[in-house]
Structure 1
């Protein structure tokens, strides 16, 4: 490795000897956690590779900046699905972070863990050590909760979790309206139970985004045993027999090799992790041979079981000029909002991808909520595009436990060719019914008395869309991702499971996957906090196994 290579995150030049105890591929929500924890005691040398740049883009650190980064190629993989049969053959945009902090640097900032039952279900499927009682200590360990420590929350951890810093009458009215329709108020979606309506907490501190690059990697920058390489595109893992020995990566025009004395940890996320394994010869043998890749291990489960949350949005025209649309579309109000944020770190620029919201059951037969609502005091046709010229607000329904599963497959042996992504949204009757019933309940909330003073009309889907068939067609026509892909390197004991309970790749030595791709199935909520928990737990397991 050349002397000129510079570790921007740690501030230290990378050493000539390209050998480390641990090589981490991907500096996202999981990778930054691993880098911090594995280097903390000073006993192990750690290399963290990130395909994207350092997190210097100003909009990364402004909460509302996710709208600016949604289609920013410099920090975003900009993936697309193949045509989705369940969504009228549309391709669905899949933004993923390509920058220090990964998707935690460009996401909607919501801090949600899912339901206790999600993790108990993982354990009941044979994944010992992953029940709710097992993972709660790691959620608490990671957390620096603004409200303080209690039975469910931790204080003093590295990840700031904060209440929203901008009062908004529409978001408050939504919570009251939900109560008017029979959905109870819930002050803490991450506490004893998830069901109810309330305000989301965010991964922010004093009005600034707290990505894992900020909260985990930044405090570790001065450690001599941690080295971080940006603009470092991993090309493949190199093996000695079935033991992972090194990572080959490209920086500019130079191809480099980093050897791992102990382990290689793949943390590229639900798309990049299975892609790297397949490129390296670990995956479905027929697929690998098709692309001329030598088969190290025929692992048919690599890239299988892809899941994602679908969201379907309802847009309302507001009777008062109090929405973010009105601020952004007015030059003076826009400047004043920017000045307020610059001076006090408050105001509309602190808005996350959901201010208030809720979780509810579409059927009384269900034990736990199966739908999540995200409420937003603005409206747009597509996230990342211009806000509507009229005063508008919106809310979306999201089925939290979809049955539909898809796949990820490489299209080429070239690591720069995007993979084939098939999610198969709305492939089952349960998924179709849940989305339709969820829309019905959301519309009742949006037309409840508390919101009536703010509503002129429902713009989308509009009052003419009434029947179940019409609502399902609307879901097919307008539904889109809510950015939570998981499960492509699934944990388990069955023949298609990719990793075991300690996240070691089954059939391979010296290789683990640590990110959202290991989830046996989707959690009932946003995925960033669970992925950070997974990396916290994995760090302990890795250090235990190193003794």
Structure 2
């Protein structure tokens, strides 16, 4: 790591979390050399080799050495199951273990944020920050005004005939082909853009944090689990952390600000165990109430997905065959030579942004397709038989839940209750999504490749039967947001203002997915990077250059 500042335990800024947001902030806040920054990361350095091989997410997702193995509370709407909602715990955070999909969502997502009283968060306001965080390589890249540093965003280069047939079938249904869903017009079908370059994952740590480590004004401390924010009155002045459970507490001080970038679960929990949150909850933890904010940990949302699986006919080549035996060896060799390979693909290959019912003005569903069949009840584990999988989830779920610390010990996992599908509208849209998947998998274009549906199976036809299937087999998409929601002081459930400063506090800011006031119609990674870019400018008192709304302009 880089050499620390003159006072090894006092910095201008202390950032808690070296994930997507924390990596961006560490880079931007140190780039002019005038401020000192310390980043605390609860996990280890990102030396696990599986992190850097795109297909290695199958390994890291279940590896507690580099992930938080959180689980949700069981509910009737999950068939009594506790669902694993893994988050990254290493340099790069979830960007080191996620599906690498880059997806901004619809412009009206951000316009809706602004309409809630969050000034400067409309689509035209934040578009420069999306652009700053990405380096678009491939289709339309340099000609569309996107930046030349940041996360490299590339197009799918491993093309399977079954995926091509799926896309053709969707087009035959009237869904337009869309080669660039991040252009401001999301509607349609095509291949995903992803954070993979020359066959390797490029996490936020690789793109932003590692280049900044050569600067003498940045220090990163790994295996440093934040246990409390330190306050003097209502002002945050530092962070207490521990290297191991029961270990001696250590402290690092902040002259200017403490910035929480720990993610939707850990940011809420750290605030609560530090005395900022709902008074009954904080008091129940045995922690003195520093400032009551009843929205801390509330407003939790996540995308809940169901997947339809079909068996492939013998002639189809799917991931199930290619990921085994001699064929896998050939794919490894191709990857080693820098050629397109299944080792260098994202878990979802094809996107479909479409409508659960005709007559809607814009898509309310995200659908994904992979030329491989996954085992029932298991996440991203290929089944024994060749097949394909298509999944769907609602863009903007109404169901909300909470994250609540169970104790003041940050080694105790908090209670996570997403209340999946508790809202009647969510169930209606979810059913529409499952039925749309079945239509897309039943096109004439796919008929030469597919045999029969195995999940949920042809016996499930009524709304009740399909909902029962969704309850028993649906799962998280790991898109956790909202537990430190942004909103004006007049909103009693808001936690931060539109400058991401915690209401009623001084020197304390939040910059991660927890501040999202509503779910974007997208995977959350791209928007988290944008939030961090904008936060860095606000901290430094800078403004982004104005931009036009249309990417094509």
Task: Give me the TM-score of the superposition, normalised by structure 1.
Answer: 0.96
Does structure 1 retain, via aligned residues, the 8 Å contact 2:230–2:237? Answer: yes
Specify the SS of the correspondent of 2:448. Answer: helix
Corresponding position: 1:96 with 2:87: yes
Q: Could you list the runs of 5+ residues in structure 1 that have no partner in the other structure? A: 1-6
Q: Could you list the runs of 5+ residues in structure 2 that have no partner in the other structure? A: 544-553
- Between the aligned partners of 1:112 and 1:384, the Cα distance in structure 2 is 21
How far did residue 364 of structure 1 move?
A: 3.0
Q: Among 97, 101, 105, which residue is 1:110 paired with?
A: 101
User: 1:198 maps to which residue?
Assistant: 190
CA RMSD, Structure 1 to Structure 2 (Å):
1.5
Q: Among 308, 318, 321, which residue is 1:323 paired with?
A: 318
How far did residue 407 of structure 1 move?
A: 0.4
User: 1:173 maps to which residue?
Assistant: 165
How far did residue 13 of structure 1 move?
A: 5.8
* 1:124-523 equivalence runs, <5 A: 124-147=115-138, 148-149=140-141, 153-252=145-244, 253-319=247-313, 320-329=315-324, 331-381=325-375, 382-384=377-379, 386-493=381-488, 494-523=491-520
1:153–1:118 distance in 2 versus 1, CA, 3 Å: farther
- Between the aligned partners of 1:336 and 1:255, the Cα distance in structure 2 is 50
Corresponding position: 1:540 with 2:533: no
1:15–1:353 distance in 2 versus 1, CA, 3 Å: farther
Specify the SS of the correspondent of 1:93. Answer: coil
Does structure 2 retain, via aligned residues, the 8 Å contact 1:164–1:350? Answer: no
Specify the SS of the correspondent of 1:344. Answer: coil
Q: Which 4+ residue blocks in structure 1 deviate beyond 4 angstroms?
A: 13-16, 148-153, 382-385
Mean CA deviation greater in 202-211 or 231-240: 202-211
- Between the aligned partners of 1:486 and 1:531, the Cα distance in structure 2 is 10
In the TM superposition, what whole-angstrom CA distance separates every residue of 1:179-219 from its partner, at most 9, and x where no partner exists? 11121111111113111111100011112111100000111
Q: Alignment length, in residue pairs?
A: 536
Does structure 1 retain, via aligned residues, the 8 Å contact 2:156–2:194? Answer: yes
Specify the SS of the correspondent of 1:254. Answer: coil
Does structure 2 retain, via aligned residues, the 8 Å contact 1:310–1:480? Answer: yes
- Between the aligned partners of 1:172 and 1:419, the Cα distance in structure 2 is 43
In the TM superposition, what whole-angstrom CA distance separates every residue of 1:96-119 from its partner, at most 9, and x where no partner exists? 000000000000000000100100
In the TM superposition, what whole-angstrom CA distance separates every residue of 1:148-185 from its partner, at most 9, and x where no partner exists? 54686503021100011212112211111111112111
- Between the aligned partners of 1:63 and 1:533, the Cα distance in structure 2 is 23
In the TM superposition, what whole-angstrom CA distance separates every residue of 1:51-106 from its partner, at most 9, and x where no partner exists? 00111111111111111111001011000011123222211111100000000000
Mean CA deviation greater in 182-191 or 237-246: 182-191
- Between the aligned partners of 1:237 and 1:318, the Cα distance in structure 2 is 54
- Between the aligned partners of 2:360 and 2:145, the Cα distance in structure 1 is 27
- Between the aligned partners of 2:466 and 2:70, the Cα distance in structure 1 is 28
1:151–1:192 distance in 2 versus 1, CA, 3 Å: farther
How far did residue 467 of structure 1 move?
A: 1.3
- Between the aligned partners of 1:325 and 1:26, the Cα distance in structure 2 is 37
Specify the SS of the correspondent of 1:531. Answer: helix
- Between the aligned partners of 2:443 and 2:316, the Cα distance in structure 1 is 20
Does structure 2 retain, via aligned residues, the 8 Å contact 1:68–1:384? Answer: no
- Between the aligned partners of 1:37 and 1:141, the Cα distance in structure 2 is 11
User: 2:27 maps to which residue?
Assistant: 36
Specify the SS of the correspondent of 1:134. Answer: helix
Corresponding position: 1:530 with 2:521: no
Specify the SS of the correspondent of 1:366. Answer: coil
Task: Give me the TM-score of the superposition, normalised by structure 2.
Answer: 0.95
- Between the aligned partners of 1:240 and 1:545, the Cα distance in structure 2 is 28
